[in-house]
């Protein structure tokens, strides 16, 4: 047992030293984008960054949820479905509260989305923790169930598979901060308040996972659960917490889609949940890594989307931008799979 603990610590130290992770590639690429943007005038960045950030946040939250789950030792392929549940719950809540009070409808909707996601993820937790079922199958079942159930409920409750809310968040410039040269237009103009909530959640998660003994225990559950159990920690309870967080954060991600860029629940999150899983791997299961990875995906997708409208990008065919994030992910996965820092016990029932 002592041996096992030792190897866990060694592995943990190795991971913390793993600075040449794909994260840095995305940082390089982003730096290149920024430099390119400055070369062709800062208006280009102003045109892309606010929207890229908005597109990144749902993925960041979902990938962070995946991080909690996998770090605690439960593989979660059901993120797509959990996102969808949050998306739906947020939409239906806002639809029925926006008439009475518009000011509280959006935050309330998000909260319900978070709770619904957490609740729904309990199915996955029960199957994979108590029943020791195959987590891949359980996760897939979550996806299938969510896509059918949400549309069914939308039809029953709202009378249509498409639930439209009257208005999402109206973007605002942050006073003073948006006036800072370079950084101002990049980060503090045209922002959604949900973005700052999400970043706060991200920061708090990093602190919880890496700076508290609770976080250390949670991560240990994903590396060597029997060692943790021998130290008197309830592994099942830790894993339940991890899965619940993944549901809650994926729900938050889904809700954010609705109140930022879509404005309508339409029965699909268009693969963002799976992209979040890719970002989780790409980001090597680390908070900073997934921030870089999701922002990379978000920026690349946004550039692909708006490249047609911006003449400066017109020289490159849009299809190049569209495949770019996926190709880079594939290459990165090939290049880094050997040094993959996946939690050792992720996917193994305990």
- Tell me the CA end-to-end span of the chain in Å, nearest whole number: 16
What minimum distance in Å lies between the beta carbon of 28 and other proteins? 24
Among 65, 109, 168, 287, binds other proteins (CB under 8 A): 168
Nearer to other proteins, 171 or 236 (CB): 171
Q: Give the footprint of other proteins on residues 246-275 (CB under 8 A).
A: 261-264, 266-268, 270
Rule CB under 8 A: is residue 164 a binding residue for other proteins? yes
Q: Give the integer Cα–Cα distance in Å for 203 and 175.
A: 23
Nearer to other proteins, 5 or 155 (CB): 155
What minimum distance in Å lies between the beta carbon of 38 and other proteins? 18
* Token pair 């993944």 in the structure block, residue: 246
| Residues 6 or more apart in contact with residue 112 via CB below 8 angstroms | 89, 90, 93
Among 23, 33, 45, 47, binds other proteins (CB under 8 A): 47
Among 166, 327, 331, 335, binds other proteins (CB under 8 A): 166
Q: Give the footprint of other proteins on residues 88-107 (CB under 8 A).
A: 102
What minimum distance in Å lies between the beta carbon of 193 and other proteins? 13
DSSP 14-62: HHHT--SSHHHHHHHHHHHHHHHHHHT-HHHHHHHHHHHHHHHHHHHHH
Q: Give the integer Cα–Cα distance in Å for 346 and 96.
A: 40
What are the residues facing 172 on neighbouring strands? 191
Token digits of residue 4: 């096992």
- The shares of helix, strand and coil residues in the chain, as percent rounded to the nearest 5, are 75, 0, 25
Among 196, 226, 190, 176, smallest CA distance to 47 is for 190
What minimum distance in Å lies between the beta carbon of 52 and other proteins? 9
What minimum distance in Å lies between the beta carbon of 309 and other proteins? 4
Nearer to other proteins, 79 or 272 (CB): 272
Rule CB under 8 A: is residue 160 a binding residue for other proteins? yes
Rule CB under 8 A: is residue 162 a binding residue for other proteins? yes
Contact set with other proteins (CB under 8 A): 46-47, 51, 55, 102, 151, 155, 159-162, 164, 166-171, 261-264, 266-268, 270, 301-302, 305-306, 308-311, 314, 318
């Amino acid at each position: 047992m002592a041996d096992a603990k030792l190897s866990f610590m060694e592995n943990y130290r190795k991971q913390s030293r793993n600075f040449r992770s794909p994260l840095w590639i995305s940082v390089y690429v982003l730096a290149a984008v920024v430099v390119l943007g400055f070369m062709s005038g800062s208006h280009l960045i102003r045109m892309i960054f606010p929207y890229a950030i908005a597109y990144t946040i749902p993925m960041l939250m979902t990938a962070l949820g995946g991080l909690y789950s996998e770090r605690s030792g439960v593989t979660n392929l059901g993120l797509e479905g959990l996102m969808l549940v949050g998306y739906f719950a947020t939409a239906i809540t806002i639809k029925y509260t926006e008439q009475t009070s518009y000011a509280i409808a959006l935050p309330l909707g998000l909260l319900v989305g978070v709770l619904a996601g957490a609740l729904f993820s309990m199915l996955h937790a029960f199957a994979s923790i108590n029943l020791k079922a195959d987590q891949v199958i359980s996760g897939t079942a979550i996806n299938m169930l969510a896509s059918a159930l949400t549309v069914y409920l939308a039809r029953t409750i709202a009378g249509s598979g498409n639930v439209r809310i009257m208005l999402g968040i109206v973007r605002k410039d942050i006073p003073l901060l948006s006036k800072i040269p370079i950084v101002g237009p990049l980060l503090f103009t045209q922002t959604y308040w949900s973005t700052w909530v999400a970043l706060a959640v991200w920061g708090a998660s990093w602190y919880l996972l890496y700076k508290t003994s609770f976080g250390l225990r949670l991560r240990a559950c994903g590396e060597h659960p029997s060692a943790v159990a021998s130290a008197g920690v309830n592994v099942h309870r830790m894993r339940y917490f991890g899965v619940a967080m993944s549901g809650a954060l994926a729900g938050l991600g889904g809700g954010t889609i609705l109140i930022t860029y879509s404005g309508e629940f339409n029965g699909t999150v268009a693969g963002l949940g799976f992209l979040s899983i890719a970002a989780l791997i790409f980001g090597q299961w680390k908070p900073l890594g997934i921030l870089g990875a999701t922002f990379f995906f978000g920026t690349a997708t946004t550039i692909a989307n708006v490249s047609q409208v911006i003449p400066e990008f017109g020289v490159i065919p849009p299809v190049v931008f569209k495949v770019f994030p996926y190709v880079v992910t594939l290459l990165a996965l090939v290049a880094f799979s050997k040094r993959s820092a996946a939690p050792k016990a992720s996917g193994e029932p305990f």
